[in-house]
Amino acid sequence: MEVSEATWLFGVMLAFAAVTPPALHYLKAKTLAATQQFPEDPPNLPKLTILLPVRNESIVIRDKLDEILGMEYPLSRVSLLVVDSSSTDQTESLAREHLEKNAEGVSWKIENAERLGKSIAVNMALDAIETEIFVMMDADAMLQPSSLRLLARWFQDPMIGAVCGQLNLPHESPRHPYRSRFNTLRVGESVNDSTPIFEGSICAFRMSAIGHSRIDSGNNADDSQLAMVVRRNGFRAIMDPEIKFFEPNSEKSTGKRSRRVRRAQGLSRAFWANRNLRSKRYGAYASVFSSQLYFHLIFPWLFSVSVAIICLSFICGILEFPENGWHTVFFPGAILVMGSASGTCRGILDGSLVLIQSHLLLLTGRRLHIWEPDAEMRLAIRRNRRESG
Ligand code: GDD
Ligand code: MN
């Protein structure tokens, strides 16, 4: 019967159709990324507020504060704002004692947020920040001493509203290929106009680019939400690959599925809530945004369905062999074998399933905007910092 043959062909065509728009977006981003230009250091360094949102970070908090105090930036131009959301592990008292002992000459403050959720803490901080530029960091990201200076240089351009750094994974990491494509996309989008996907581990914002806007405190993608706010308000939000941050080389943690699902859900929700950023009014950003909206909301379903169709037609081919002829087993079988042999195909399917899982959780009312820190990863960071002195 010709039905099974038509079925696997349909699956293949659907997969190609689904992949084509993101593939074109990637190729364009790759070309643009290679042309990124970097600003000179400014003659006068701006005053900065460093926002450090924390919850249950007792393992890393002191090292993180030392990292901040050791930045190549005049500390007289830095204020530190730690927002602690009801930590139950003495994060606050550890931070307070550490700052009292070591932060002479730096103005610092620790605020408390009763309700849990990083986005709530971020909104609270937005009401308290008094400098025009603020830098936000994660307690567990490891930064270079040049980070503040490299961020600050971008704000000489009055159109720049937000800048973020880039995660650098070691070459041997299994997630390196995915990350390097992710980074290329973010930089290419930045050159084109702006990237809607941001890195909260190290990022900086111009307060006047945020204005009175606030983020959805019930969604976790605080970083990307802020980047979208900035673009909506007419400024650019970009990634600078020279501002690198590091995570310990412990794959169990950095690639943890629960964390990927949380981030996927936050992004999907932020894209949906901001879907009117597809409007032509936003110039080149409209196509960047549409592309990512498609990639996060529609693509995972199309791609997974196409794979399921090919699998099904292969199974039917086997069950109905030999009546249907060898080709209904051979072609879908060969495609499945080639697909599973290709790291890229496996990665695309894996990423699609993570997104689908995050959508299904959302549809069943499970929001992932409050989470626990990954202790295993924090311990690895502490070891890492100790080893590197
Ligand atoms: N104040 C406050 N309140 N801070 C919090 C809370 C909270 O309820 N929950 C987490 N944080 C802090 C952590 O202490 C850490 O400094 C930072 O937010 C990031 O949390 P991680 O536990 O390290 O999460 P991640 O590595 O997956 O974070 C990534 O995704 C998040 C969104 O899901 C980063 O990109 C974050 O910047 C981003 O917010
Ligand atoms: Mn983290």
The pLDDT tens digits for 246-299 are 988 655 655 689 999 999 999 999 999 999 999 999 999 999 999 999 999 999
Angle, helices 176-192 vs 3-33, to 10°: value is 60
Return the pLDDT at 250.
59
**What residue type is 275 in one-letter code?**
R
310-324 in b/e form (b: 16+ CB < 10 A) is beebbebbeeeeeeb
Q: What is the mean pLDDT of residues 3-19?
A: 88
Query: Which residues line ion ligand 2, judged by CB < 5 Å?
Result: 138, 140
From 118, 166, 260, give the residue whose CB has the most ligand 1 atoms within 8 Å, as the site to mutate.
118
Q: What is the pLDDT of residues 308-341, one digit of tens each?
A: 999 999 998 888 888 777 877 888 999 999 999 9
* Model confidence at 1: pLDDT above 70: no
- In the structure encoding, which two tokens stand for residue 120, read together? 């709530």
* Model confidence at 59: pLDDT above 70: yes
The bridge status of strand 48-54 relative to strand 78-84 is: parallel
Cα–Cα distance, 106 to 172 (Å, whole number): 39
* Model confidence at 356: pLDDT above 50: yes
The SS3 assignment for 105 reads coil
Considering Cα of 340, then 299, then 117, then 163, what sign does the dihedral take? positive
Cα–Cα distance, 282 to 288 (Å, whole number): 10
The torsion angle over the Cα atoms of residues 61, 49, 76 and 72, rounded to 10 degrees, is 60
Closest protein CA for atom 27 of ligand 1: 259
* Entry pTM: 0.95
Contact 85, 115 (CB under 8 A): yes
Closest protein CA for atom 14 of ligand 1: 54
Q: What is the mean pLDDT of residues 359-370?
A: 95
Find where tokens 């959780």 sit: 361
Other beta carbons less than 10 A from residue 5's beta carbon: 17
Return the pLDDT at 175.
87
Nearest atom in ligand 1 to 113's CA: 1
Cα–Cα distance, 25 to 27 (Å, whole number): 6
Find where tokens 């950023």 sit: 277
Q: Give the list of residues 6+ apart from residue 239 with CB closer than 8 angstroms, or none.
A: 163, 164, 165, 166, 183, 186, 187, 189, 190, 195, 198, 199
Return the pLDDT at 251.
57
Q: Give the list of residues 6+ apart from residue 200 with CB closer than 8 angstroms, or none.
A: 118, 136, 138, 164, 222, 223
